[in-house]
Amino acid sequence: MAKILIIDDSKSVRTDLRGALEASGHEVIEAEDGKSGLDAILANRELALVISDLHMPGFDGIEMLKKARAAMPVWNFKVFMLTTDTSEQLKAEGKAIGITAWAIKPFDRTRLMGAVDKILALKASA
């Protein structure tokens, strides 16, 4: 179905997301921090979706996406920020750089997969 990149410094979060996404037929790539996430984005131009944590070692999810935007001004993927942070300021900053959706951890797997399906439908209709 879709190629999805998960970027999170929590192995358990990556494992849980991978299981749910692969069960839905998606191809999944993982990265454990902002630096490896940026490298994965730049190396995989056929991504449909990036699901990223906000707070990670190195640089955070927003900084990583700013670097990705600088390296490739046109994105062919949607971005879903999955974090414990509920700051409206961060959400506004994220929206300004192209984050499509923002969800709070811990997440409900069924609701999260529904959100992923909606985001992927947006990409397909774009």
- Quick one: pLDDT band at residue 126, thresholds 50, 70, 90? low
Q: Which of 84, 88, 49, 42 is nearest to 64 (CA)?
A: 42
Instruction: Say whether 4 sits in a helix, a strand or coil.
Output: strand
Q: Is the pLDDT of residue 103 over 70?
A: yes
Cα separation, 11 vs 28, whole angstroms = 14
Cα separation, 12 vs 15, whole angstroms = 5
As a whole number, mean pLDDT of residues 43-59 equals 93
Mean pLDDT score of the chain: 92
**Domains defined for the chain, CATH in brackets:** 3-125 (3.40.50.2300)
pLDDT attached to residue 7: 98
pLDDT attached to residue 79: 95
User: Helices 34-43 & 61-71, crossing angle to 10 degrees?
Assistant: 30
pLDDT attached to residue 117: 94
pLDDT attached to residue 86: 86
- Quick one: pLDDT band at residue 9, thresholds 50, 70, 90? very high
pLDDT attached to residue 23: 95
pLDDT tens across 66-87, in order?
999 999 888 889 999 999 988 8
